[in-house]
Amino acid sequence: MPIDFDMRNVRQFRPRVPGGTVLRVLAILAVVVLLFTTWFTVEPEEAGIVLRFGRFARQVPSGLHMKLPFPLERVLKVPIERQLKEEFGFRTQDAGGSRTSYSQEDLTSESLMLTGDLNVAVVEWTAQFRVREPSKYLFKVRDVRKTFRDMNETVMREVVGDRSVNEVLTVGRQEIAAEVEHRLQALCDQYENGIKVEQIVLQDVNPPDAVKPSFNEVNQAQQEREKLINQARADYNQIIPRAKGQAEQTIEQAEGFATDRVNRARGDAEAFNQVYAAYARAPEVTRRRMYLETMAEIYPKVTRKIVLDEKLKGVLPLLPLQGAAEVTP
């Protein structure tokens, strides 16, 4: 229904209330405030907690919502879908761009911890979490983030304190992260802070700086060991196959010799048998013939010949054999 706004009436009214203009401005302001505080938006990753006179009234999801105007109802927004992160032992300074830069400040007091064998390790990690129950997150624990950090440090040290330095530095990483996640969630539930621990990620896990070189030395020594062993194996592999080959050579040579020897023997025997067969047919003649033939062969070769009568005895020492001996060498 259109309002019949009679300006004359207003003018009429004016002299009776001198503060009328001021009141009107105040009234308009009040209306504006009321209007602007009756609707609110909740971002997609957030949840809205509406409080009436400070008391929790309702929780609303993302979107546009109405509430009673300002003094009566207030709204708090909590990012329940966003993954939040706490870092320990390091701080990401600028995660934008292609390169993440880290703060240079010394945070070893956060990351230095005692292992179960009373050694020291530097463990850096991040805790990723979400707010699961906004009303608990807001109203159960004061200073939730700081408390959460303290809980993290406590649990991590508890878990690392039950492991050897070797486990912490090498094989146990996964297990430690899982164990911390599990215990931290239990502690969150105990404290009713409304936090859901999503993931614990171990970052750099190192021995303390002062001890690092000696850890490297162990690695080096390990390499050295491998090197020495490999060298020895190389040497072995260089010598042994050759020796095997040479051994085979020796055996082959022996086989060769054996074949040679036996064949020669057979040949000689065969020759003898042949000669003997001939000889056996006429032994006496053959024997003489062979003797004489041999002599005939020999005599021409010899340049100095001395013939002695069979009756002469003991002349041998007198013979001029010296000359012959001198010629001989």
Partner 1 sequence: MSPIRVVVAVIIALFALAVLSSAVYTVREGEQVIVTEFGKPVGRPITTPGMKLKMPFVQSVHTFEKRFLEWSGDPNQIPTKDKRFIWVDTYARWRISDPLKFFQRLHDESGAQSRLDDILDGETRNTIANHELIDLVRSTNRVLVVAEDVAELSQPEPAERVEHGRNKLTAEVLANARRRTGDLGIEVLDFRIKRINYVDEVRQEVYARMISERKRIAERYRSEGAGEAARIAGEKERQLRTIESEAYRTAQQIRGKADAEASDIYAAAYNRDPDFYRFLKSMGTLEKSFDKDTVLVLSTDSELLKYMNTAR
Q: Which of residues 83-112 bind partner 1 (CB under 8 A)?
A: 109, 112
**Cα gap 212→226, rounded to integer Å:** 21
Residues 25-64 that bind partner 1 (CB under 8 A): 51-56
Residues 273-292 that bind partner 1 (CB under 8 A): 273, 275-276, 279-280, 283, 287, 290-292
Beta carbon nearer to partner 1, 64 or 296 = 296
- To partner 1, the closest distance from the beta carbon of 194 in angstroms equals 12
318 in contact with partner 1 (CB under 8 A) = no
Q: Is residue 48 within 8 Å of residue 59, measured between CB atoms?
A: yes
66 in contact with partner 1 (CB under 8 A) = no
Which is nearest to 189 in space by CA: 127, 126, 137? 137
- To partner 1, the closest distance from the beta carbon of 96 in angstroms equals 32
- Select the span of 22-30, 79-87, 125-133, 309-317 touching partner 1 (CB under 8 A): 309-317
**Cα gap 201→225, rounded to integer Å:** 34
Residues 194-253 that bind partner 1 (CB under 8 A): 207-208, 210-211, 214-215, 217-218, 220-222, 224-229, 231-233, 235-236, 239-240, 243-244, 246-248, 250-251, 253
One residue of 24, 91, 145, 264 binding partner 1 per CB under 8 A:
264
Element (H, E) at 324: helix 321-327
6 in contact with partner 1 (CB under 8 A) = no
**Cα gap 268→262, rounded to integer Å:** 10
- To partner 1, the closest distance from the beta carbon of 236 in angstroms equals 4
**Cα gap 193→298, rounded to integer Å:** 127
**Cα gap 163→171, rounded to integer Å:** 11
1 in contact with partner 1 (CB under 8 A) = no
One residue of 10, 254, 282, 285 binding partner 1 per CB under 8 A:
254
How many angstroms separate the Cα of 168 from the Cα of each of 78, 121, 173, 203, 204? 36, 8, 6, 12, 11
DSSP 53: T
Residues 175-194 that bind partner 1 (CB under 8 A): 190-192
138 in contact with partner 1 (CB under 8 A) = yes
Which is nearest to 155 in space by CA: 124, 193, 187? 187
| Ranges of H-type helices in 3-60 | 7-13, 20-36
One residue of 24, 36, 266, 285 binding partner 1 per CB under 8 A:
266
Which residues are registered as beta bridge partners of 50? 58, 75
One residue of 170, 186, 189, 285 binding partner 1 per CB under 8 A:
170
- To partner 1, the closest distance from the beta carbon of 219 in angstroms equals 9
Beta carbon nearer to partner 1, 43 or 226 = 226
22 in contact with partner 1 (CB under 8 A) = no
DSSP 256: H
- To partner 1, the closest distance from the beta carbon of 157 in angstroms equals 7
Cα 35–Cα 37–Cα 38 angle in degrees, nearest 5: 70
- To partner 1, the closest distance from the beta carbon of 239 in angstroms equals 6
Q: b or e along 246-257 (b: 16 or more beta carbons within 10 Å of the residue's beta carbon)?
A: eeeeeeeeeeee
92-94 and 195-206 as β-strands: parallel, antiparallel, unpaired? Answer: unpaired
Beta carbon nearer to partner 1, 100 or 230 = 230
